[in-house]
A and B are shown apart, each in its own frame.
Chain A
């Protein structure tokens, strides 16, 4: 059973890795977007899914990662890798400085506080000369979509292995304990402030790397798109759709929702976003704990699983 699952994951990985060698340009470009969204969903999973803090601040990490690469390459003429490191440093600094006060808030208050951060960052970056103010930055182009694709896939693998490690490490157990009952975790010896901040920062590292890769790929960034809050909404929907607090759920959620959304927008252009919304609402109603939970329970309870979920919503 376990061996079978590992084989399946490896096979899926091999297929994904091979896409740029047989797929069309359009498919590769779709793939880069989908993989980066999966990285974002997986990054959000660390703070939102495992630690239980629904962060709306992850698009800020993404924006900082974009600007790290943007500033390093466009302004300082440094290599891409240095830009990535710079973006990660910005994101981690942000996570530590803002995480400590903001992570004291719980539930809705935390969500609202982080929601405001993206707005503030857009305003700040729009006024920083080094960041190109509200005009943005143009990066030196690199026409190599295969490279961007494999880089994004590599990052997704790294993020997923990190989350896998969480499920069997002391650190990850501390995070889960915080999610399940923070006061209970604290009196059992979990340094909750430190752990929450570290989870926020780790989540930020992956978002920043995704932002950095994306910036170099599209060769242009501006404050509005780099700190776009709707990106944060997307990663939450994808992670929750797949199964928050599971290793593969957010990846499967991001890839499948990206595919659905792409299919809809090519087939029925005008109504695509409406249909996408319907897909998400229906999913939340019939499988509120995500795909991962659905697959696990469906085997035991069959179709009753959906009926029960609908009943608990009192529809």
Chain B
């Protein structure tokens, strides 16, 4: 089976700093892959390299076997790559509904041509992530947790095949985290492959089929969540310094 994503020896430098260093891995269809690592490990950079908002210094990203080299971000979105932003990027002056409608109007395959259809789909998507009551509010009036869900709804409205989540659970309480976990599971059950970056170890452990650990831009572990979390290098590099 062709993997949903193949990351092949990808490196990204920023003036002297190597943010992502020769990283390779696969994301299989309908898989939930968790990515963890300390602050500055290169997780967000990795997502940007896949979604196309950053170009790799070297290496290649393949989507369903097709190289994405040189392809602008909007075309990757139309192929079926959806992402959320850790530093959220809502359309502040638009209603919550229209924020999501943009995803349905454009997005995978070019989206809907009709605004009414797009809004209809956006409404359903907002119900799905639990923002059904806020459709008419302006996006900049939403609180932090609401904005996290909005990021998710915007990406989902694009009808992606691959969803890249950058810390969508940060700042949420335990109940909200469980709700988002349930949403991501349903997304996967609908046939979407998911890459999730998260700092909440407990959440990511229960959610992920597989876990990948980044440290100083390098991949230091990749495998079954339980064995990865028990791995000596991982414990020293990351977990040892954190309260779990």
Contact = CB atoms under 8 A, between A and B. Distances in A.
A188 B77 contact: yes
Nearest to B102: A177
A interface SS class: helix
A184 B89 contact: yes
A187 interface: yes
Interface string B95-132: 00010011101111011111100100000000000000
Interface stretch (A124-132, A168-176, A264-272): A168-176
B53 A188 contact: no
Contacts of B90: 180-181, 184
A231 interface: no
B115 A183 contact: no
A184 B103 CA distance: 10
Contacts of A184: 85, 89-91, 154
Interface in A187-232: 187-192
Contacts of B155: 188
A25 interface: no
Contact of B83 (A173, A176, A177, A187): A187
Given A170-B105, A181-B89, A187 B115 contact: no
B83 to A, nearest CB: 6
Interface string A151-193: 0000000000000000011100110110011011111111110
Interface string B58-85: 0000000000000011110110001101
Contacts of A192: 74
Contacts of B106: 170, 174, 188-190
Contacts of A183: 53, 89
A173 B74 contact: no
Contact of A173 (B77, B89, B115): B115
B93 interface: yes
Contacts of B102: 173-174, 177, 185, 188, 190
A185 B75 CA distance: 12
A189 B103 CA distance: 7
Contacts of B72: 186, 191
Interface string B27-62: 000000000000000000000000111000000000
Contacts of A188: 74, 77, 82, 102-103, 106-107, 154-155, 158
Contacts of A181: 89-92
B73 A187 contact: yes
Given A185-B102, A187-B82, 18 more contacts: A170-B118, A173-B105, A180-B90, A181-B89, A181-B90, A183-B53, A184-B90, A187-B73, A187-B77, A187-B83, A188-B102, A188-B154, A189-B78, A189-B106, A190-B74, A191-B72, A191-B75, A192-B74
The 8 closest A-B CB pairs, nearest first, are A189-B106, A184-B89, A180-B91, A189-B77, A186-B73, A189-B107, A177-B102, A181-B89
